[in-house]
Structure 1
Amino acid sequence: MKEKEAISLQILAPVSAVSQRTRLYKIVTHLHRKGWTNLSFCGWLRVQGEEEEKYLSFPLKKRYLIKGGGYGGRMTRLLYLVWVVRAFFAALQFPRGSTVWALGWESAFPAVLASKIKNFDVIFDDADRFSLIFSLPGLLRKIIVALEKWTSRNSLVHLIPGGARYDFESEKFHELKNTPSAIEVQAAEDIYKKREWPQADLVVNVNGWLGSDRGIPIICRVAKELQNENIKFIVAGKPDCPEALDFISLENVKYIGKVSNAEALASYFASDYVFTYYNPKTRINRLAESNKWGDAIKIGVGVIVNSEVQTADYLVAQEAGIFVPYDDVDALVKGLRNMAKNKNRVSRHKANIAKLSQRFDFFENQLDSLFEGIKNGKTQ
């Protein structure tokens, strides 16, 4: 990537809006602050009305390669194939010498193919490994894995949140950890100080995708068990299952809606623990790399993680929270009751997780290091 090209970036991502995906939001806001004024976005409008970039303070050039399809079902899976094809032809239209930020293999593979014809660089942002997301037939999975390896080795750099998901090596691997932006944390602290928050013996934070695969049916049952005790829940995000609607209607739950990144982070300052459950039935969930862990580390909030999540081992070793099996509602209820009665243990969990902060830099600092490394030909 040449110096003169460092103010232009093409974002290729199968999402409705950049500001809907925290990782992309952090990227574009920081780069815009750094003077990258020529930012373009090619996306997939999953649901009509989701295109609004309500959290961006600057205009973003955008166009959609697909409209419709939603987020689940056979039609959505078929549309991923359409996305790959359309992303390839869209990438052929990118200017020579561009830098393309491709989110996911389904974007990076067609972009890398196009780069062989049209000379540009591809940053493969592999936030969720494609071959682990879907249950694929054996032969198809082998083909996808082979193409993932090829895409990795032919990208300018292959960004990964951690190495646990990969059964191959690539000299293009570069870890980009899911931590918050320092400027967002500062904004969050200012918001926290200006608002009133629930007061209780224990406050649990639940935010992000409020769906069935993120333990919402579990935490709903837990909250119902604890309705007569001084334990409260702060909830932010879009309800995406019947249990989520039931959950946010409870008297011991304060639902603050679908909010900006800074507002979501503000709620951490009012919380003792953040809830991060992943249904262990899929391998990608057992190898989760949660944004919420980075948020908790940088703000100093304990975590609640189901014990099947292998990538949380460093949090377990640090004694940074509560770790119980996914389906064991009684164990989580008991754990929260114990913590409500023992604030010294809560404080210890918070102090323990805060110690990890030195190991994980703020997101924008990681981005600056990444682009400096690209500029100097060193990205590992």
Structure 2
Amino acid sequence: MNVAKPSNCALRRHERLRVIAPLSALSRRTRLFKLAKFVRATKGLDITLLGWERRLGEGKETYLDFDVPKEYVLKGGGYGGASVRARYVLWMFRIFFRSLKYRRGDLVWALGFESAFPALLAGRVRGFDVIFDDADRFSLLFPLPKVIKGIVASLERWTSRRVAVHVIPGVERYDFESSRFYLLRNMPSEVEIETARMLYQQRTWPKAALMININGWLGSGRGMSVALALSKRLQGADVGFLMAGKLDCDEAKELAKRPQVHYLGEVSNAEALSTYYASDYVFTYYKPDSVINRFAESNKWGDAFKTGVGIIVNKEVATAAYVVNGGAAISVEYDDLDGLVAAIEMALHDKSLVLGHKAASSELGTKYGYYESQLKQLFRKLEVGHGVG
């Protein structure tokens, strides 16, 4: 599915892209980084960010080669804890009042329900269009009281059916239908892939009979305790680990220091993608103690498809069924370390298993376009005025 039945609303040609997102910089979210590069290169729109500076100094666009004017309606709080969750209410109020300053000709790209809902209310007053980029369904993110969860879910449905476009990475998280749904798979940027190939060819990489890639946000919810235990169990085997990203828990910090681990630090999207060409599998574990983790939509799956790398994913991730059924993955339950070790040792001693997973991953990659091609289709429909369902 890309587009459901057509919307009745005709959309205007837009002059500015106003991104609203509860983060410090576009570079800090891969999908927004790719969006900004695409819009800058192909549409010529001015881009601004209305955001939340979670930590002082995070606003620098480290990986973009152009400036993005920013305004923060919130500062501080970091990324976790009950106090941060409470700030989302304040965020929504401030977004509503601040976005009342937007006008016709603005296209608002709102990341998450917490941004899209208040922006939509303001847009109905001011006459601008809103794209609801639903990377993580808000009602599944936090443990909420049943009554509040029901209200939020109802408002999500209301918002979905009234925005210009509701961008979703997959359909599994939704228990409702909307004519505004637009499926935008988490695929890499073609430009970044081409840069990644060149970076790979320019560097000397660590060698092992089997190389496992661990990258992205390296937090406790992303299986770092399992990865650490795996590295200890495989010590002495001809298995290496390539690691890149933010070390956001004690297990990740310990893992980065292991003898068979080559840690590159925090790197650009292209640099992270270059590590796939030196890898056999990418590790994508999600601690299954939350609904959102069981319905994860990993960017790393699309990266693996386009670089021909196998995937390691825990069975509890329901959204990975097409990856597993497509033959591209090693998959065991999250707490089954023995099973994971056995599966990797089997692949280590039978290269045909590795080659089979890689071939299946590449085959899945032929079914989905690069991120730019999917965005191009979305913006084409906006520009010609047919609306998007």
Whole-Å separation in 2 of the counterparts to 1:36 and 1:95: 18
* 1:341 equivalenced with 2:349 (yes/no): yes
Equivalent residue in structure 2 for 1:379, among 379, 382, 388: 388
TM-score (norm 1): 0.98
Whole-Å separation in 2 of the counterparts to 1:321 and 1:139: 39
Equivalent residue in structure 2 for 1:224, among 211, 232, 235: 232
Equivalent residue in structure 2 for 1:2, among 12, 32, 36: 12
SS at match of 1:154: coil
Question: How many angstroms does 1:97 deviate by?
Answer: 2.7
Whole-Å separation in 2 of the counterparts to 1:49 and 1:240: 18
* 1:299 equivalenced with 2:299 (yes/no): no
| Counterpart residue identity of residue 167, structure 1 | D
SS at match of 1:373: helix
Equivalent residue in structure 2 for 1:96, among 100, 104, 111: 104
Equivalent residue in structure 2 for 1:166, among 161, 164, 174: 174
1:171–1:37: structure 2 CA closer, same or farther, 3 Å change rule? closer
Question: How many angstroms does 1:152 deviate by?
Answer: 0.6
Instruction: Give RMSD over aligned pairs.
Output: 0.9
Question: How many angstroms does 1:35 deviate by?
Answer: 3.7
* Preserved CA contact (<8 Å) 1:201 1:341: no
Segment drifting more, 312-321 vs 125-134? 312-321
Whole-Å separation in 1 of the counterparts to 2:125 and 2:167: 23
Residue 278 (structure 1) aligns with = 286
Query: What are the equivalent positions in structure 2 for 1:350-361 lying under 5 Å apart?
Result: 350-361=358-369
Question: How many angstroms does 1:378 deviate by?
Answer: 4.3
| Counterpart residue identity of residue 145, structure 1 | A
Residue 113 (structure 2) aligns with = 105
Residue 61 (structure 2) aligns with = 53
Whole-Å separation in 2 of the counterparts to 1:210 and 1:344: 30
Query: What are the equivalent positions in structure 2 for 1:79-94 lying under 5 Å apart?
Result: 79-94=87-102
Equivalent residue in structure 1 for 2:130, among 122, 128, 138: 122
Segment drifting more, 239-248 vs 335-344? 335-344
* Preserved CA contact (<8 Å) 2:212 2:242: yes
Equivalent residue in structure 1 for 2:32, among 18, 24, 41: 24
- Number of aligned residue pairs: 378
SS at match of 2:366: helix
| Counterpart residue identity of residue 196, structure 2 | A
Deviation per CA, 1:153-198: give whole Å up to 9, x if none: 1100100001100001111011011000111000000000001111
| Counterpart residue identity of residue 86, structure 1 | R
* Preserved CA contact (<8 Å) 2:12 2:382: no
* Preserved CA contact (<8 Å) 2:164 2:387: no
TM-score (norm 2): 0.96
Structure with bigger RCO (C-alpha 8 Å, 6+ apart): 2
Question: How many angstroms does 1:223 deviate by?
Answer: 0.4
* 1:73 equivalenced with 2:45 (yes/no): no
Residue 257 (structure 1) aligns with = 265
Equivalent residue in structure 1 for 2:221, among 199, 202, 213: 213
* Preserved CA contact (<8 Å) 2:16 2:105: no
Whole-Å separation in 1 of the counterparts to 2:336 and 2:219: 18
Runs of 4+ in 1 over 4 A off after TM superposition: none
| Counterpart residue identity of residue 335, structure 2 | D
Question: How many angstroms does 1:264 deviate by?
Answer: 0.2
Whole-Å separation in 2 of the counterparts to 1:36 and 1:145: 36
Whole-Å separation in 2 of the counterparts to 1:30 and 1:209: 23
Residue 13 (structure 1) aligns with = 21
Segment drifting more, 90-99 vs 60-69? 90-99
Residue 183 (structure 1) aligns with = 191
Whole-Å separation in 2 of the counterparts to 1:300 and 1:116: 45
Question: How many angstroms does 1:307 deviate by?
Answer: 0.5
| Counterpart residue identity of residue 167, structure 2 | L
Whole-Å separation in 2 of the counterparts to 1:159 and 1:170: 11
| Counterpart residue identity of residue 109, structure 1 | F
Whole-Å separation in 1 of the counterparts to 2:346 and 2:278: 19
Whole-Å separation in 2 of the counterparts to 1:163 and 1:264: 27
Stretches of structure 1 that go unaligned for 5 or more consecutive residues are none
Deviation per CA, 1:120-177: give whole Å up to 9, x if none: 0000000100000011101001100110011111100100001100001111011011
Stretches of structure 2 that go unaligned for 5 or more consecutive residues are 1-10
| Counterpart residue identity of residue 154, structure 2 | A
Whole-Å separation in 2 of the counterparts to 1:116 and 1:351: 48
Whole-Å separation in 2 of the counterparts to 1:161 and 1:35: 23
SS at match of 1:353: helix
Query: What are the equivalent positions in structure 2 for 1:141-160 lying under 5 Å apart?
Result: 141-160=149-168
Residue 44 (structure 2) aligns with = 36
| Counterpart residue identity of residue 96, structure 1 | R
Question: How many angstroms does 1:96 deviate by?
Answer: 2.5
SS at match of 1:257: coil
| Counterpart residue identity of residue 78, structure 2 | G
* 1:247 equivalenced with 2:255 (yes/no): yes
